[in-house]
Structure 1
Amino acid sequence: MTNQLWSSERRLTAIGRNGLSVPARQAVTDQQITPARSVLDYGCGRGGDVRSLRQMQIEAAGWDPVFQPDDQLNPADVVLLTYVLNVIEEPVERRETLARAWSLARAVLVVSARLTWERNKVSGSVFADGVLTSRNTFQHLFGTGELRDFVQGVTNVRCVAAAPGVVYAFKHDQARLAFLARRVLPHVEWLTSSDTTSAISSVVEHTERRGRPPRLEEMPHAMVELLGHLRASDLQRLIRRSADPDRVAAGARRSTLDTLLFLAVELFNGRGPFGSLPLSSQLDVRAFFSSYSEACRRADRLLLKLRDDAYVRGAMQASKVGKVTPTALYVHRRAVDNMPTVLRLYEHCAAIAAGRPADWTLAKLRHQGRAVSWLHYPEFDSDPHPRLSASYSVDLKTLETSFSSYDDSPNRPLLHRKHEFLMPADPDAPKYRRLTKAEVEAGLYDRPHLIGTEAGWEAELKRCERSLRGHRLIRRTEA
């Protein structure tokens, strides 16, 4: 970032923060920022992220041409470029700034920018390719696809959208694939072990869930120490003797589908050679497929099925989770991993292309065309008919995104029949199902075109002389 005479007041765009910024928080959540990695906040402004990271015992430094121009500028494992590109008027300087940040990153560059849907928050007049505000500050608002393509063009590596307006560029492709694997594959928890017997039980349980015995390299270090005195053949014999064959077979079926899902997402974002895959994924391929080539061919066919409207609609109709409407399938966050594999791929491709928001409750997958929306109902668990707070959507054909907030709407959309969005075995489903049954019997769903918003729903409650007390429907008593 060159220290030059700027035509806009960039210093005024630097805000004070008491906690981590959204991009830094995302990088922590995604395990890109850890205590084992150093961090450089390039263009750190007033240094809020640096202070917060240091409080987390993370080695962090910052540099800024206005607020910290004399600080030493050294490479770091992780470089943050947080809302910097927006405020640069000259496209050439934007590229130079991004290239400089990339050169300082040893492992990953985290780039964030304000997006086009924030235009109504930026008052000012059109100037060059952005907006010049009354405070003489400049904002170039990026499209989601534009930001990812811009970072890819400068870094010359495949990038991943971690969240709306947040892009990761990895120095090594193995790190990108490891990130995709963490995003796509279910996280495997190991049972706590304090002695050899409990460690063996944990390995057996892991084998049943995964469908294959784990390698020592996959185990927690403490467990390896507990089992270190056993020969590999002895451990294998103990697993065969103790593991339930039916559970192992079911685990193998799940792991086969999960591996196909990962390889299909990998192809969507750029497939690497077998040796670049995370170790656990390599072992899954060896265990469940005749070869890497065969696994890739099957994953490729799965990805191609996303183009077939009839196949996708059939998968939605066959899904054991979610609510199918004339236009889309709606699935709760707790149930998305139980959708058919092709639908999980559908949602993951959208997330990798445009970033999945941090806060969401339902995923909406359209039947025709390819578009995914993440809908946020903050009070889903506590409100019998939760109100929609926000919607973030991506069109997979154009990669165009849109965002809508309903928090200030006087008549927000709301949900009915909450149990239909969940897995049948969800512990809250019976309570929601009872409420729906009571509402149907009371005639509240007789005019479905009226009940989709707060005002319409309240009018129907009044008409049917009913009110809600938690998740119970009671007769209305007028004051």
Structure 2
Amino acid sequence: MIPETRSIKRRLTAITRDALSVPARQAVLDKQILPGSSVLDYGCGRGGDVRALRRMGCEAVGWDPFYQPDVRLQPTAIVLLTYVVNVIEDPAERRRTLAHAWELAGTVLIVSARLTWERSKVQGEEFSDGLLTRRKTFQHFFDASELRKFVEDVTGVRAVSAAPGVVYAFKDDAARLTYLARRIFTGDQWLTSDDTSSAIAALIDYAERRGRPPRIEELPPRMTQQLRQLRPEEVRRLVSNAAEPAKLTEGAKRTTLNTLLFLAVELFNGRGPFTRLPLTVQLDIRTFFSSYKEACQRADRLLLKLRDDDYVRRAMTASKAGKVTPTALYVHRRAIERIPTVLRLYEHCASIAAGRPHGWTVGKLCHQERAVSWLDYPDFDTDPHPRLLTSYQVDLMTFKTTYRSYSASDNRPLLHRKHEFLHPDDPDADKYRRLTGAELRAGLYERPHLIGKESGWEQELLRCGRALRGHRLVRNRK
């Protein structure tokens, strides 16, 4: 990374922060950074992430050509390149900087940059392939998929978009596959075990959720110690006798579908050999499929079905979770894992291409085109008609992304019939369904073209003489 020039003042883009930056926080949430991890913040600016990571118990150091130029650079397991490539005005230097950061990374390189939707927030004149601001700083704004492609071109490995504007590049492809598996096999944590009895209970719980008993190599180290006095055949017998057959059957079905989803996602992002798969996934394939080849063939067919408009539309219609409209399926994030596997694949492919945002409430999967949107209704659970805050969409045909914020709007879109976005067995579905029934009886949905936004909805409430008290509809006494 070359120091700033007289005409470009890169140091002025560094901000003071006490909490973790968005990319570093994402890496912590994704378990790429854990307490004790060795982290180099390459281009650390004023060092906010370094201080925050040290408080977490990480061995973190930062280097910056202006603020920390004397720190000796050496290979480190995890390298952060946080909002650096976007402030470099020379495209060739931008690539060299990324390449150097990649050389320093022992395990994973985490790259982040500002995205195209932020361009409207910055005033400046066209310069190189970006903007030169009045403060003599430079900004190149990436499209989310452009950033992933840039990282892949320079590093020569398959990268994954962890979130909009945050990309992971792994030195070992097995680590990439482990990360992908963690995104798909959610809720795979072991129960806490303090003694032999609770360790056996945790084994039974795992077997019922996975559909098969675990191998000793899969056990957490502490649990291995707790069970050391038992022979492997005794453990298998205890699990086999105590596990409920119905739960084992349901777990096997779920694991089979998740494995197909994982293999299809892997092909979307480049499939590797069987031996590079996470051990748990290898064991799933050996248990539930006749061979790796058969599992891959079934996953390939699943991926091909994404191109079939009729098949996708039928899957949406058949889904017990979510609301189907003439153009798309809308489904709450609590129900996203309950939709058909081909639709889960649809959403996962979009997330890997351009990053799934951290804050989202409802996913929108189009069936007339191939595009996924993540819509954020932050008050979904408390507001009977939550207002839309942000929308982030990726077009799977072009990989272009669009983002829109409604925070400054005084007439935001809002939701009705909230129960339709959930799975029928969601604990809140009945409460929302009762409200919808009351609103229908009151005539509030007689003019659907008016009620999609705040002002029209308020007018209809006044017309019908109704008001809302939480999730109850009452007569307006005014």
State whether TM-score is above 0.5: yes
Relative to structure 1, the CA distance from residue 233 to residue 143 in structure 2 (aligned partners, 3 Å threshold; closer, same or farther) is same
Q: Is 1:321 the equivalent of 2:316?
A: no
CA distance in 2, matches of 1:3, 1:450: 56
Instruction: Compute the displacement of 1:250 (Å).
Output: 1.6
Instruction: Compute the displacement of 1:175 (Å).
Output: 0.5
2:9–2:137 CA contact under 8 A, matched in 1 = yes
1:271 is aligned with what amino acid?
R
Q: Is 1:383 the equivalent of 2:383?
A: yes
Instruction: Compute the displacement of 1:402 (Å).
Output: 0.3
SS class of match (1:255) = helix
Q: Write the deviation string for residues 117-149 of structure 1: whole angstroms up to 9, x where unpaired.
A: 111011111111111111111111111121111
The match for 1:290 is 290
CA distance in 2, matches of 1:59, 1:85: 24
SS class of match (2:452) = coil
CA distance in 2, matches of 1:467, 1:160: 47
Q: Write the deviation string for residues 56-82 of structure 1: whole angstroms up to 9, x where unpaired.
A: 111100011111111222221111111
SS class of match (1:311) = helix
2:422–2:429 CA contact under 8 A, matched in 1 = yes
Q: Is 1:118 the equivalent of 2:118?
A: yes
Q: Write the deviation string for residues 139-167 of structure 1: whole angstroms up to 9, x where unpaired.
A: 11111121111111110000000000111
The match for 2:76 is 76
Instruction: Compute the displacement of 1:4 (Å).
Output: 5.6
2:387–2:415 CA contact under 8 A, matched in 1 = yes
2:321–2:422 CA contact under 8 A, matched in 1 = yes
2:89–2:128 CA contact under 8 A, matched in 1 = yes
2:4–2:11 CA contact under 8 A, matched in 1 = no
Instruction: Compute the displacement of 1:6 (Å).
Output: 4.7
The match for 2:186 is 186
Please list, as runs of the form range in 1=range in 2, the aligned pairs for 1:33-72 lying within 5 A after superposition.
Answer: 33-72=33-72
Please list, as runs of the form range in 1=range in 2, the aligned pairs for 1:422-461 lying within 5 A after superposition.
Answer: 422-461=422-461
RMSD: 1.0
Relative to structure 1, the CA distance from residue 177 to residue 363 in structure 2 (aligned partners, 3 Å threshold; closer, same or farther) is same
Deviation larger for 13-22 or 190-199 = 190-199
Please list, as runs of the form range in 1=range in 2, the aligned pairs for 1:23-172 lying within 5 A after superposition.
Answer: 23-172=23-172
2:373–2:394 CA contact under 8 A, matched in 1 = yes
CA distance in 2, matches of 1:117, 1:198: 50
CA distance in 2, matches of 1:372, 1:418: 20
Q: Write the deviation string for residues 78-119 of structure 1: whole angstroms up to 9, x where unpaired.
A: 111111111111111001111111111000000001111111
1:314 is aligned with what amino acid?
R
2:285 is aligned with what amino acid?
V
Question: Unaligned regions of 5+ residues in structure 2, if any?
Answer: none
TM-score (norm 1): 0.98
Instruction: Compute the displacement of 1:211 (Å).
Output: 0.7
2:78–2:109 CA contact under 8 A, matched in 1 = yes
SS class of match (1:73) = coil
CA distance in 2, matches of 1:458, 1:334: 28
The match for 2:195 is 195
The match for 1:266 is 266
1:151 is aligned with what amino acid?
V
2:32 is aligned with what amino acid?
Q
CA distance in 2, matches of 1:107, 1:457: 52
SS class of match (2:80) = strand
The match for 1:300 is 300
The match for 2:470 is 470
CA distance in 2, matches of 1:297, 1:246: 28
CA distance in 1, matches of 2:88, 2:222: 50
2:36–2:57 CA contact under 8 A, matched in 1 = no
CA distance in 1, matches of 2:115, 2:198: 51
Count of matched residue positions in the alignment of Structure 1 and Structure 2 = 478
CA distance in 1, matches of 2:110, 2:189: 28
SS class of match (1:182) = helix
CA distance in 2, matches of 1:6, 1:210: 60
Deviation larger for 189-198 or 366-375 = 189-198
The match for 2:215 is 215
The match for 2:226 is 226
The match for 1:243 is 243
CA distance in 1, matches of 2:6, 2:394: 35
Q: Write the deviation string for residues 369-426 of structure 1: whole angstroms up to 9, x where unpaired.
A: 2100000001111111000000000001100000000000110000001111111111
Please list, as runs of the form range in 1=range in 2, the aligned pairs for 1:343-358 lying within 5 A after superposition.
Answer: 343-358=343-358
Q: Write the deviation string for residues 173-196 of structure 1: whole angstroms up to 9, x where unpaired.
A: 000000000111122232333332
Q: List structure 1 segments (4+ residues) > 6 angstroms apart after TM superposition.
A: none
CA distance in 1, matches of 2:105, 2:121: 32
Deviation larger for 142-151 or 358-367 = 142-151
Q: Percent identity?
A: 67
SS class of match (1:251) = helix
1:430 is aligned with what amino acid?
D
SS class of match (1:372) = strand
Instruction: Compute the displacement of 1:240 (Å).
Output: 2.1
CA distance in 2, matches of 1:463, 1:421: 27
Deviation larger for 160-169 or 418-427 = 418-427
Deviation larger for 412-421 or 31-40 = 31-40
SS class of match (1:448) = coil
2:253 is aligned with what amino acid?
R
CA distance in 2, matches of 1:463, 1:302: 50
